[in-house]
A and B are shown apart, each in its own frame.
Chain A
Amino acid sequence: MPDSKPAIDATRLDLAREFRRNPFAKHSPELYALLEVLRGPAWNGNYVLVVLEAHRRYALAVKQPGGRPPVVLSNEIHASAADAEWAVFRRRWEAASGQKLEIE
Chain B
Amino acid sequence: MPETWINIFLFVMLAATALAVVRTRHLFAVVMLSGVFSLLSALLFVTLDAVDVAFTEAAVGAGISTVLMLGTLALTSRREGPVSASRQLWALPIVVLTAAALVYGTLDMPGFGSPDAPAQRHIAPHYLGETASEIGIPNVVTAVLASYRGYDTLGETAVIFTAGVGVLLIISELGRRRRRDDEDEEGSVRNPEGAGDRIGGNSRSDGDIR
Asked if A and B are interacting partners, one says no
List A residues at the B interface (Cβ < 8 Å).
none
